[in-house]
Chains A and B, each alone.
Chain A
């Protein structure tokens, strides 16, 4: 019999509790008291949630609504944030906005490129020009 999602989530929480408890070894009693209180409460609640999940049938709907789009978005976002430091915020963001919009099905290249340029321009205007923030310049613009 398939476990209910709640029971699976409860098992993850119990793992988190065990890991947290282990990590607190060696920490002074007074500093560990509050986190241990929370971990104890989480452990009890996770057991209650696990038991509650056992009494229910596994849901039929899928966990994600549209796996392809979610995978594309999460994957490209991961690549984007990894690229921000070496490539620089503005080049990386310009490419990211255009590529993700296209990948999600917006097949109007001119609109996509124009929107990407307007967005990065607006961010530059607000963050750099108005508020003097220094964003990652990347290898192209790093002095």
Chain B
């Protein structure tokens, strides 16, 4: 591990990579601060741009966007009670009351410092835990990988959203999209409708941009009707003393970082859950729980630290097993694949300089948040948040079109993106989680190829799929994940009955 880290350091500090991290962090903070835009969308829009880049430059930019956006979500959450990202919802609980009483600058400072601490702790966990986990992956053959893919899909489908049936349907839809095109083994066309444009399959960027980027834009356009289309937004006041009174947050940061890291490693749990659990734990441990929800500084620190401590940790299963822990890591995984980097043990062996470099970039971009978030962002966002929804929506649409067109120089891809945008909007309105679709598209190929490979190795004997101990453990985990909503429903009924 240390050799890999030392080899990666010179590459990380090349000027192109430093520039990419800086641009990514600033861009991420801007994206996270704009309601309706997310890190997922930012990286999805960015991926086509990275085709011509060196892998480390592209990954540095993605790391910056990821960390920056997770902090940026706190800005509108504190100022306007609009969470810039879903994970920033917990920040609004105490951040907004602080802003209401005139402490917006202080709330943003706490958010910035806490995001940095959480992000750094998470990156260190990624560096320390990912390499040993690679050894574990050597126990995995095709059958085991198939079950791991099923586990990842099931856990994300069940844990995200309130309705596990909708989550599983969304995952199946993603898997189905992944089968479009010519079958690599038999050469048969599947779901191509004799259209040559579909023979090569659906490009993951096209699906991601359509499903994730377009529905928020349509909603942004709808929102423009509610508000005065040209009205200005709140202006931040300049703030001083970024590190003022930081020692009172040390316990909060340790607790929230641990919660965020553990949640991050679990596929499907996500930053929102990490932020809420951290906030709840902080409130539970506080001597003054009544002050929570009324502008408690530790409440803001816990939510933001927990939220950012999930970031790099969510990459641990993505890099070692190819199982992304969240939608944004699924897209980063897509970015890795586009640059020819296949997750798993071979990634650490064949591309150690890139993968360790990426881990260091996650750490550095966490630190960059202090400068760009705490010092620069307050002035920048006074202007960016003034962009009216009516103007923001068409600009982002134009960006999506150019981004998707650039993937394969194909207008057909743009038409597909538009179609997926409409599907994504309907799914969003029907409360289908979109992350399982993304995971389905990303994991579909892996699941199918490993299933078929396992059956070929076993000469068609299906029992071989469940014969190894690792397979049985993963299957047991799948059963537990699927049983969670049933048990939860049974418990809820049991509690309701006596009333």
Report which A residues bind B (CB closer than 8 A): 5-6, 9, 13, 20, 23-24, 27-28, 30-35, 38-39, 41-42, 45-46, 48-49, 52, 63-66, 68-70, 72-74, 77-78, 80-81, 84-85, 89, 93, 96-97, 100-101, 104-108, 111-112, 115, 119-120, 123, 126-127, 131-136
Alpha-carbon distance between A136 and B401 when the two chains are bound, in angstroms: 11
B418 with A81: CB separation less than 8 A = yes
B395 with A115: CB separation less than 8 A = yes
Given A85-B411, A89-B402, also A104-B229 (CB < 8 A): yes
B402 with A123: CB separation less than 8 A = yes
Of the candidates A39, A52, A100, which one forms a contact with B394 in the assembled complex, judged by CB atoms under 8 Å apart? A100
B430 with A104: CB separation less than 8 A = no
Give 19 new A-B contacts, CB below 8 A, not counting A34-B179, A78-B418, A111-B391. Answer: A35-B176, A38-B175, A42-B176, A45-B169, A45-B172, A52-B165, A66-B225, A69-B222, A70-B222, A74-B422, A77-B397, A81-B401, A93-B401, A105-B390, A106-B224, A106-B388, A115-B395, A123-B402, A126-B49
B190 with A68: CB separation less than 8 A = no
Alpha-carbon distance between A13 and B388 when the two chains are bound, in angstroms: 37
Contacts of B405 in A (CB 8 A): 84, 89, 135-136
A74 with B218: CB separation less than 8 A = yes
Chain A nearest CB from B350 CB (Å) reads 27
A93 with B183: CB separation less than 8 A = no
Chain B nearest CB from A34 CB (Å) reads 4
Contacts of A135 in B (CB 8 A): 402, 405-406
Of the candidates B176, B389, B401, which one forms a contact with A89 in the assembled complex, judged by CB atoms under 8 Å apart? B401
Chain B nearest CB from A56 CB (Å) reads 11
A66 with B185: CB separation less than 8 A = no
27 A-B Cβ contacts within 8 A? Answer: A5-B430, A9-B430, A20-B176, A23-B191, A27-B183, A32-B188, A35-B179, A35-B191, A38-B172, A42-B173, A45-B168, A65-B219, A69-B225, A70-B221, A73-B393, A77-B418, A84-B414, A97-B398, A100-B221, A101-B388, A101-B393, A104-B221, A104-B389, A115-B395, A120-B398, A133-B406, A135-B406
B294 is an interface residue with CB less than 8 A from chain A: no
Alpha-carbon distance between A97 and B388 when the two chains are bound, in angstroms: 13
Binary interface profile of B, 397-409, with partner A (CB < 8 Å = 1, else 0)? 1110110011001
B448 is an interface residue with CB less than 8 A from chain A: yes
Chain B nearest CB from A120 CB (Å) reads 8
B203 is an interface residue with CB less than 8 A from chain A: no
**4 tightest CB-CB pairs across the interface, nearest first?**
A105-B229, A104-B390, A100-B394, A73-B221
Binary interface profile of B, 308-335, with partner A (CB < 8 Å = 1, else 0)? 0000000000000000000000000000
Could you say which of A45, A64, A69, A123 has the most chain B C-beta atoms within 10 Å of its C-beta?
A69
Of the candidates B49, B166, B219, B221, which one forms a contact with A72 in the assembled complex, judged by CB atoms under 8 Å apart? B221
B255 is an interface residue with CB less than 8 A from chain A: no
Contacts of A123 in B (CB 8 A): 398-399, 402
Contacts of A68 in B (CB 8 A): 225
Contacts of B223 in A (CB 8 A): 65-66
Contacts of A133 in B (CB 8 A): 402, 406
Q: Is the interface of B mostly helix, strand, loop or mixed?
A: helix
Alpha-carbon distance between A33 and B447 when the two chains are bound, in angstroms: 12
B93 is an interface residue with CB less than 8 A from chain A: no
Chain B nearest CB from A61 CB (Å) reads 10
Chain B nearest CB from A43 CB (Å) reads 10
Binary interface profile of B, 361-402, with partner A (CB < 8 Å = 1, else 0)? 000000000000000000000000000111101110111011
Contacts of A63 in B (CB 8 A): 429
Alpha-carbon distance between A48 and B163 when the two chains are bound, in angstroms: 12
Alpha-carbon distance between A6 and B395 when the two chains are bound, in angstroms: 33
B451 is an interface residue with CB less than 8 A from chain A: yes
Contacts of A41 in B (CB 8 A): 168, 172
Binary interface profile of B, 407-440, with partner A (CB < 8 Å = 1, else 0)? 0010100110010001000000110000000000
Chain B nearest CB from A103 CB (Å) reads 8
B459 is an interface residue with CB less than 8 A from chain A: no
Chain A nearest CB from B50 CB (Å) reads 10
Alpha-carbon distance between A123 and B418 when the two chains are bound, in angstroms: 20
B186 is an interface residue with CB less than 8 A from chain A: yes
Q: Give the nearest-CB partner of B387 in chain A.
A: A115
B245 is an interface residue with CB less than 8 A from chain A: no
Contacts of B172 in A (CB 8 A): 38, 41-42, 45
